[in-house]
Each structure stands twice: as structure tokens, then as C-alpha cells.
Amino acid sequence: MLAPANHVLAGFTRGFLCRRELARILAETPLAASILTIDPAALKLQGIDVLALDFDGVLTPHGFDAPLPEAEEWLTRCVPFFGADRIFILSNKPTEVRKSWFNEHFPGMRFISGTRKKPFPDGLIKTGELAGVPQCAILMVDDRLLTGCLAAIIAGAIPFYVRRPYVSFKHRPLAEWFFMLLRTGERLFIRFLTLL
Ligand SMILES: [Mg+2]
């Protein structure tokens, strides 16, 4: 069993190696980027066949059990273009209550679990195997540069950086502040690394 901090360490070490690519993503992503700025029809035209979606920050604020209604509506719009069986949830927190929500509302969508946490590419590799597509046909949507976006770079998938994540300071104030600091910290870290 791996130590829980292994994926954090990998974020820093592999983030260093991929710093230029991460800096490019950071520079090119508009401040308003979220799932709602993703047009599923345009993605298909760009050759994306599979969506790999992070959960916290991307479909909901931190710690929610189900996607927000507007995220649910966006998922519904994605289904005709990709098919529910080509939409995967790649969260480092695939809880049972979240899985059962998807089983009820989007039965074809699958959680990837039992793999090493992002930024290890294992979850994306499993996604590619299950969907039968090359990594370049997978869009990894994540609000973290050093976890999901980095995993996509390592795997050869296409990263989409959610620069405007969902947050709810009412629901989980401590967790949201922590993750806000983490997101700001990793942006500073990447900008600093590119000076080296
Ligand atoms: Mg997240």
C-alpha cells in the first residue's frame, strides 16, 4: 500500500519536470474557464471522444455528494455527443454516495477507482483502456494543475484547467479556504519554477 502523500510528492517532482507545459496551460486558460464554457459539440469536432471529469471544484464545491443542478444540466447536454459510457469521473474521492447518485441519474457514467491518485496517470490509462481510445482522445477536466492537469500531461491526454472552480464557503469553510490556498499556491509554484 502506498503512503497517502505519494501523490502529493509526485505532484511536486513531476510538476517540476512538466513545468513548461503547466505554465502554458496556466497562461492560456481564461479566468472564467469552467465546465459551462466547454461546448461538447466543439470538443467532438476537435477529436475528443471521452471526458474524464474531476468531481470537487469541477461539478460541485468541495465535499458535496452530488453535482450542482447546472453541472447536471451540462452533463445531460454532453451525453448525446459522447454517450454516457464515454464519460468518466476521475476523482481522488470516489465516495459511495457519489457513485450511487450517478448510478441513479447517469447510469452509464463510471467512476474510475482503485488506481493511484492523480497526478499518477493510472486513472487516465484505465479510462483509455475501458473506452478503447488513445489518450489524445481524452479530455481531463480538473481544477488542479498539479493533480488532474499534470496527470493528463503525463498520460498524453488533453488537459482542461477549470480556472473558476465551484466553491461554497458556507458548506465547508475550512476545506474551501485550504483548497483556495492550494490552487493559488500551485499557480505561484509553477510561475516560480518557470523562472529556473
Ligand atoms: Mg478538484
Distance 150 CA to ligand 1 centre (A): 13
Distance 112 CA to ligand 1 centre (A): 15
pTM to 2 decimals? 0.94
CA pair distance 139, 25, nearest whole angstrom: 14
Distance 62 CA to ligand 1 centre (A): 8
Q: Enumerate the β-bridge partners of residue 158.
A: 139
CA pair distance 136, 155, nearest whole angstrom: 9
What is the DSSP code (8-state) at residue 110? Answer: E
Confidence check: pLDDT of 131 > 60: yes
Confidence check: pLDDT of 120 > 60: yes
Q: How remote is the C-alpha of 130 from its chain's centroid? A: 18
Distance 83 CA to ligand 1 centre (A): 23
Distance 141 CA to ligand 1 centre (A): 9
pLDDT, tens digit (0-9, with 9 covering 90-100), for 79-113: 999 999 999 999 888 899 999 999 999 999 999 98
Cell numbers given for 3:
503512503
Q: How remote is the C-alpha of 111 from its chain's centroid? A: 12
Number of Cβ within 10 Å of residue 80's Cβ equals: 11
pLDDT, tens digit (0-9, with 9 covering 90-100), for 32-86: 999 999 999 999 999 999 999 999 999 999 989 999 999 999 999 999 999 999 9
Distance 44 CA to ligand 1 centre (A): 24
Pairing of strands 50-53, 138-142: parallel
* pLDDT band (50, 70, 90) for residue 1: very low
